[in-house]
Amino acid sequence: MSEIHHECGVAAVYQLPNAELSKLCPPQGIDHANRLIPRMLLDIQNRGQLSAGITSFCLGRSQLLDTHKDIGTVTEVFRLAHKGKRESLMSEYRGHAAIGHVRYATCGRDDRSYAQPFERHHLQKDKWFSFAFNGQLANYTQLRDELLHSGNHHLARETDTEIIMHELSRELGGDGKSDLVAVMKNVAARFDGAYSLAFLNARGEMIVARDPLGVKPMCYAFDGSLFAAASESVALLNLGFNRDDIKSLSPGTAVYIDRDSIAPRIERFAESSRTAHCFFEWIYFANVASTLDERSVYMARTALGEELARIERERGEVPVDNEDTIVVPVPDTSKAAADAMAYALRVPCREGLIRNRYTGRTFIEGSGSRERAAKIKYTPLRHVLQNKRVILVEDSIVRSTTMRVLLDRIREEGAAKEIHVRVACPPIVAPCFYGIDMSTVSELFAPEFMPDLQLTDEAQARMAKELGADTLRYLPVTSIARAIGVEANELCQGCITGEYPSESGQRLYQVALNANSAPSNGKSSGGRTYEQNPATV
């Protein structure tokens, strides 16, 4: 699915002096732990391809903290394809502690100044810091307005990342050394939303924290000398950490480590009345090899496919015992669900769509980019699809642009005789205010057909006709928690239920509903919901 994007991914490493305790210490020594960051970011590149960056800490240089970041993929930004330039970068930004980031924009423009980590210089070392975060503050506009009206303040960017930087800076004020866990406690009292972050200052102190709801994932590991953390477990597993040593950071807790640490210290900075893990992590965003909050992404997607098969058997709309029937996944994130569905139904699963993995963003910018992206990204295989009854499995439908293009191409170029769309997710009926690139009701496909948010046969028939499919079936909301293996109240399912886990999220949904129902006068409301002033909507 190329229609939605996550905001970003975070990575952090800290090499303690007792390197002999670690089998994972970089061959160049403990002051080159920064070399691990590009490797980790490659494993979470799925979370953002717009920009990448690193901040490292090193006592042996005048720039105690130094940041390198730019627009582009991890390979481009760190010059991984060019040995000489890569080595030059790694030497320049050497350090025994570092944080890294990959980004896709849900807030702010697509230029280098918005790339993370964000570094703030200061004369005092504990106030000179850099941080990277994953998520979105639902009360962004409130915090922004309070900052602008509380003094002689100015914000240079339209992003909550800058808000977080200033809020951290205010907490680090004063002459004494700040307790970073106390800093997180104080800012958490003002933040409403999702934020998994990694913080590093010029004293060599690092803190990795996860918001009290645990909306976004954060994993960590320690082997006696090397500490590492990342948005997904796969980045730690591929460094060489033992699977049993990789843990998910509990919501409302932080890991603190500094140069004098024997081991990381885990402390709670905020109480968690409930969890609200983003269910989309298991359905789409996370690397299929990851385990988040002790639940396998692959196994969750497999269970979703089994849910699709169960519903297919119950309804009997498609003759699954016919040799002309095949299951086709929309690559890549739908493959596990499609395989499981086909296996349960005893129907062949065929790769009728081939994804071009080398299309750069240069080719898909500008107006109409989503349509062009879909045409460039997928190629139908006529020899697989011709005269077949295709059960097309997709992980979700958000704006419907990609699905419309795919259905046209499968029917025209693939010569399929029937196309039955099966979606391993309920309809997306509401925006996301916690870090997924969909913030208005009007951009979503399903709400027009589900004014009361009820998934009926009639609504699905109308949607199928609109898309150009023979039939269309979504999973019900109840299937999600069952497939992931948690209680529904442990997940954030705001985009499929309209019920959000935080006050600001619920308020923004009402803002979005009001904006969608207001007369347009031929004008678009323009901008994302959380960038608008609620008083004017």
* CATH assignment at residue 453: 3.40.50.2020
Residues 233 and 304 in one domain: no
Residue 247 sits in the same domain as residue 305: no
Q: Does 269 share its domain with 395?
A: no
Confidence check: pLDDT of 126 > 50: yes
Domain check: are 145 and 40 in the same one? yes
Residue 265 sits in the same domain as residue 397 = no
pTM for this structure? 0.91
**Active site residue: 8, 107, 425, 495, which one?**
8
| pLDDT tens string 475-506 | 999 999 999 999 999 999 999 999 999 999 99
Same domain, 67 and 186: yes
Query: pLDDT tens digits, residue range 296-346?
Result: 999 999 999 999 999 999 999 999 999 999 999 999 899 999 999 999 999
Distance CA 525, CA 537 (A): 9
Q: Is residue 283 part of a domain?
A: no
Among 218, 240, 273, where does a domain finish? 273
Q: Which residue in 408, 393, 406, 256 sits closest to 338, CA to CA?
A: 393
Residue 371's H or E segment, with its range, is helix 369-377
Shared-domain flag, residues 241 and 317: no
What CA–CA distance (Å, rounded) separates 328 from 82? 38
32 has which bridge partners?
A: 95
Show the domain range for 226: 8-273
- Average pLDDT for 150-159: 80
- What pLDDT score was predicted for residue 7? 64
* Catalytic site includes residue 8: yes
Strands 471-474 and 418-423: parallel
Q: Whole-angstrom Cα distance, residue 59 to residue 63?
A: 8
Q: How many residues does the chain have?
A: 537
Classify 471 as helix, strand or coil.
strand
For residue 79, give the CATH number of its domain: 3.60.20.10
**Residue type at 154?**
H
Instruction: Extract the runs of DSSP E, i.e. beta strands, from 167-258.
Output: 193-201, 206-210, 219-222, 226-230, 247-248, 253-257
Q: Are residues 195 and 237 in the same domain?
A: yes
Strand 247-248 and strand 265-268: the pairing is unpaired
Number of other CB atoms surrounding residue 506 within 10 Å: 15
In tens, the pLDDT along 177-204 reads 789 999 999 999 999 999 999 999 999 9
Q: Domain for residue 403, yes or no? A: yes
| Number of compact structural domains in the chain | 2
Look at residue 285 and tell me if it is in a domain: no
470 has a pLDDT exceeding 50: yes
Query: Among 241, 273, 305, where does a domain finish?
Result: 273
257, 393: one domain: no
> 281 lies in a domain?
no
Tell me: the pLDDT tens digits for 60-98? Answer: 889 999 999 999 999 999 999 999 999 999 999 999 999
Same domain, 415 and 505: yes
Report in angstroms the alpha-carbon separations of 25 from 22, 29, 92, 98: 6, 7, 19, 14
328 domain residue, yes or no: yes
Same domain, 361 and 234: no
Residues 524 and 390 in one domain: yes
Q: Say what the pLDDT of residue 178 is.
A: 84
Domain-embedded: residue 284: no
Q: Using CB atoms within 10 A of its CB, is residue 503 exposed (0-12), middle (13-18) or buried (19+)?
A: exposed
CB atoms within 10 A of CB 134: 29
Q: Is residue 288 part of a domain?
A: no
Beta bridge partners of 118: 131
Specify the pLDDT at position 532. Answer: 53
User: Is 146 within the bounds of a domain?
Assistant: yes
Q: How far apart are CA 377 and CA 375, in angstroms?
A: 6
pLDDT band at 51 (very low <50, low <70, confident <90, very high): very high
